[in-house]
Each structure stands twice: as C-alpha cells, then as structure tokens.
Chain A
C-alpha cells in the first residue's frame, strides 16, 4: 500500500516502472524489486520521523554487524530545507525560493502520472511508449529512480531481499566482512 501516492496513482506508477525496467529471464524488473515502493517512500519521506532520506550506518547486518540501515539519520535544519524543497517544491515560500521557484518531486510525479492517465496500465505497449514520451523529462526521472530502487539498499524500499544485487552478482554492502587480501588480488 502506498504511503504518499493514491492507490490509483500507484497503479499507474507500477505500470510505468514495468516499462522502464521490465523483468526478463536475466533478472527481476523494477516492479518485482519494489521500485514503486522506493519512489513512494521518497515522495513520502517526511511522513516518518526521522525522514526516510539517509539510512544509518555502519552496517546493514547482511554480512555481520548490527542492522543499522533500518534506522534513518535526523536532518539538520539546512538539510530539511533542502529535502523538503526537493520533494515538496518551493510552494511560494520565500525561504525556499531564494533562487526562484522549485518544482518538487511530488508535483512532477503527480502531474506525470496524471498525464499517463488512469488507463495507462491497460494500454498496448506502443501507446504506453507514446504517452511516456509525451511528458517532458518524466521517463528520465522515472528511470533514474528505477536504477536507485533496483540497485540501492533494500532499506529504502526497493531491491527486495537484495534480489537485484543477486541477479548481477554484486555482494552489496559487505561491511564488516569486507574482502580478504586474496579475494582482492586473486579472486
């Protein structure tokens, strides 16, 4: 269930993610990996406290150590200003518009998904391509977030159980185990 997008928007987002990085026999696609949750989690980062921006360190627990990534860092006042502006947009507030208005990610997704239309999941593939191409910059934004949601740490909502790392033979966050000198020099 989405935390920030509506259920209807989330359905369109899911279909759009499936176009951006579909599943194949070579690995999971964006949808199976949970990328729609990653994006919804970013758009709704400030619905939790501390906001879901930076996972804590030093270890995830996947290779030993404590599972610290499941907690998030508190933001400084300056960083809260930056991330609220980036996500929510400047909304006419003077403290966010010192260099002019900023369109936030929430608005870019909301307008982008609206332009794709509620019928987007049912469209033929070439119609989906045409709608995606018609929204300026939206396919690029979505693809960048697909890459992050697929191949970032699972604690941000995507890459469920590290499935995308497994598909590409990437060990992920290997602290505190690391690699032995022999595994580095002569793998």
Chain B
C-alpha cells in the first residue's frame, strides 16, 4: 500500500505536519530513528511513563539520544582544519519520539515581525548572506496561534513591548516565577530593560487532558515525567487517535528515492538491520537542520546552497554570584526573558559602528540559574575540598545567570556536508559540520556581555563572569570549541528564487514536486529566538498548503 505521506522525524516539525495531515484524512507513516519513550507502547494515544527526575539517565547516559558512540557527528571550524577536529557530539538535539521537543524547557517565543525582513529593515552585512524570508509575520501569525493552542503555551499579552501583534490571547496564564528571576527582573527594570514572563510550553493549569506543571525543576534536558510540557505529545496523540497514522520508532531513513521530478518513497533500515522500501505519495523531511541536509545529500539531491548557512545561536553566558540562595532547582528552568538585546539601542549602534559593522544583533536573554548536582560536582576540583564546595555550593545555590541566544548571521561557509570517512553504526556517512562565529557574532558578544554583567551587579552579584558557547580558545580571539546551544537552523534555506534557495516559500524542494522540508532547516535567518514555535508554525503552514 502506498501511504499519502511519509514523515521523517517525530519532533515538533514532523509531529505538527502529522497532526494537520491526519486530521484531513491523509494516511501517514511517521519514521523516527530513536526509541519511543513518549507514547505508551500499548496505546499510542496515551503518554508513556518513562521520563523521570534522573540526572544520570538524562545527562550522563544519553537516554534521549543520540549516543555519540553509534551516531556521531564530526566538526571543524574551517576547511583549514583538515577533514575534522572532533568526532562525537555536535549540538545534539534528542533522537527520540518527540525529538527536540522532549528535552527543551519549553520556551516557545514567536519571532518579531522584523525578523522576517532583516535585509529590508537593516541592510546587508559584510561576508554574510542576510536575506528577507519569503513570507511575513502576518502570514505566519495564524499558524503561530494554532500551534500555541495545540501544545498549550502559557504567557501574557502586552508585557513585551517588542512583540508582534497577536490574533488572540495566550491559551493560559504564566506559571510561578522562579525566585531568582523575581530579583533579576527587578534589577533589569531598574536599568531600563523590559523583562517579561517567557512564553512557555509548560502548563500553568490543567490543559488538554494533561496536568499543570508541578515545578519539579528537572526541566531543561529532561523529559517531563507528568507530561505537563508542550512537547509533541499532544500532536502525536491526536494524530494516532485519528487511526490514520503509523509510528515506526527505531527506524532509520537512509535514502529518498526519486523518479523524474517526484519522490516515490524512502528506504528504511529497521532496528534489526533489515532494509525495505516504503512507497509514499509525499515525503516530508523533518529531521532537524543537521540530519535533514544529511538525508538530502545521501539521497543525491543537488543544490549549491544545500547544507549551507548553518546557524546555531552564538550564546553569551553571563553568571553572577549572589549573596543569597537563588533556588534555581525549583520550577521551570527559565521563567523570564527580555528582548532588548535583539532590538538594540544607541549604545549597540555605536558598538557596531566602532567595529566597522553596519549593525549588530544580540538575542533573547534568558534569566536562569544552575540546578543539577552531578553537573555542579564535575565543575569543582577533586580532593579534600570537594564536599565542602558542594555543601557551600557557589554554583547551584548562589549563581544567577543570563544566556543570550545571539543571532547567528547566515554564512555560506558554515555548513553541513557528509564526512568523507566517518560512519554511523548502520554504516552510513555522518554529518560533518563546519562552523565558527564571525566578526558580527563576536562584536555582539563583546558588547552585550558587560551590559548583562551590569544587570547581575545591580541584582547584588559579588562577582560576575562572561563566557560563550562555543567557548573561546586560549590562543586569542578564535572560538574553537563545539557549540552547545541545541539550536540548529538554516542548511536547506527557503526562498522564491531557485538559484539561491533550496525550497520554495512552503518548504517544498524547488527540484522535486512532492518533497517538503518541515523543520528549522528552512530558516533564512536565525533571529535571536529559539526555533521551536516558528518551525512548528512553518510546518503547519506547509502541511495545510499540501492539502
């Protein structure tokens, strides 16, 4: 039997497409290479009970995948590094049913209207290929609203002066503010910034049959034990309940097969290693901005822009030690954010001018602390001072921090291709990432780091420290470590002109009529916001367009 659509990847992009298409009566097969710990294996319309408050399982032992020993990636900062510097993790997002939605702490901001027309509003940047998106905020707004209702987003309208217009209120009010955030918000306001309760896909009230968040604190990088997070559980349960969807977990798609301008289906590798062909009328690729271009390259799709313009968010991380306990281990991982460092001001314009740049953009600033004791323990030196440091806990009990999701500009040289020799355990070439932040990202980091430290000092910090991800080498100004933002965007850029974009404005490949990319691969620019809500809204829009 030929299904209407095969969807590669069960994260927020693939799940949203599955929800839309199955509701319209399409038959779909969702293929996920990771294990299923999201849905009850005996009844896929109900949630599973596999997630837990377990730091070993989730942080030390890759429960949500990918395990870098069997599914590695390779990394280098430029071609001058040779074939690769590193084999292992690169900015991993979970490989499991539910994908990146399962480990996120649920911040789901919309982009601002200006994010879709960066070139028109601000003009070009040297070395970058800044472009407008082939759609506007207003065109995407109904889909933003749909996804917010679908997953359940807590927030409050009118508190962020930089937000775009909304067609309706948030589905539920914000949850409890973190204690540290109460203080950092007050400090930021005293310095003239505009912090507000983050739009968060964690239930503040019972919603859609799932309970309210009970503030357990094991949020970012953990699956939610009570399914109060707006991960793809809602979309997948609905899709399964239609009877029109089949879920194939632990199944790898190794190739899309084509005849002329059409895909005919995909090659599958099952968990026991056997291969088979799955015919489908449409192929939706939603494997994330690293694995999606990998699959297209393994399928011999050709386009000069394919794999290029990878963006990850160059993070500026500023920590301060407080004279009081910050209680970061209670509640959501982040409850408050501010957008001022995306928008900029006279000081940031001056900093750009001084650095010879036309403009700089920072990113969303997340107010948060450090919560988990194993992670903390590994930061202190071994020996007789260790358990005194753990009891005093300058990191877990005292730190408060800002993480700025600095906007990465799109550079053709930041890219994904197939590693020439490193293979995964199934025998297929792994994704090789070539990435480094450039002048714009470093100038924005240098400018905003001290300004964020000033807020922490206003909050009472006894000392502050500025770092970044990727980190900076000892030998000067070159960042040389692997990014850990967990945001991957670009690589299969959308646009109206087939010469410089890989997909059309609805995510369909320019070169094949029935292959649609439904994840953050299609992003034209990265904005300073996490990608989840925008990629899900784009997926909903693309799926409706297919009907």
- A interface list, Cβ under 8 A from B: 19-24, 26-29, 53-60, 68-69, 73, 76-79, 81-82, 85-86, 95, 98-99, 102, 139, 143-144, 146-148, 150-153, 156, 164-165, 167-187
B22-58 residues with Cβ-Cβ distance < 8 A to A are 35, 49-57
Residues A58 and B382 in contact, CB atoms below 8 Å apart: no
In the complex, A179 Cα to B328 Cα: how many Å?
A: 12
In the complex, A83 Cα to B373 Cα: how many Å?
A: 24
Residues A55 and B215 in contact, CB atoms below 8 Å apart: no
Shortest distance from the beta carbon of A95 to any chain B beta carbon, whole Å: 8
Residues B225 and A78 in contact, CB atoms below 8 Å apart: no
A79-B35, A81-B70, A99-B87 known; 16 new pairs, CB 8 Å cut-off, are A22-B386, A26-B387, A28-B387, A54-B63, A55-B57, A56-B50, A58-B225, A77-B272, A78-B70, A82-B62, A152-B60, A153-B55, A164-B373, A171-B329, A177-B214, A180-B215
Residues B374 and A57 in contact, CB atoms below 8 Å apart: no
Q: Which residue of B lies closest to A25 (CB)?
A: B388
B545 within 8 Å of A (CB atoms):
no
Stretch at the interface among B177-185, B443-451, B513-521: B177-185
Shortest distance from the beta carbon of A86 to any chain B beta carbon, whole Å: 6
* 23 intermolecular pairs with C-beta atoms under 8 Å apart: A27-B391, A55-B57, A58-B49, A60-B53, A68-B52, A78-B250, A82-B425, A85-B69, A95-B425, A99-B87, A99-B422, A147-B378, A167-B387, A168-B387, A173-B54, A173-B218, A176-B225, A178-B214, A180-B215, A184-B177, A184-B179, A184-B331, A187-B179
Q: How large is the interface on B (under 10, 10 to 19, 20 to 34, 35 or more residues)?
A: 35 or more
B213: chain A residues at CB < 8 Å are 178
B273: chain A residues at CB < 8 Å are 77
Residues A152 and B216 in contact, CB atoms below 8 Å apart: no
Residues A146 and B382 in contact, CB atoms below 8 Å apart: yes
Residues A175 and B50 in contact, CB atoms below 8 Å apart: no
One of B327, B378, B427 near A187 (C-beta < 8 A):
B327
In the complex, A32 Cα to B168 Cα: how many Å?
A: 57
Shortest distance from the beta carbon of B443 to any chain A beta carbon, whole Å: 36
Residues B225 and A185 in contact, CB atoms below 8 Å apart: no
Residues B179 and A186 in contact, CB atoms below 8 Å apart: yes
Fill in one digit per residue for B378-399: 1 if any A CB lies within 8 Å of its CB, else 0. Answer: 1000111011101101001100
Q: A78-B271, A99-B72, A185-B177 known; A170 and B329 CB under 8 Å?
A: yes
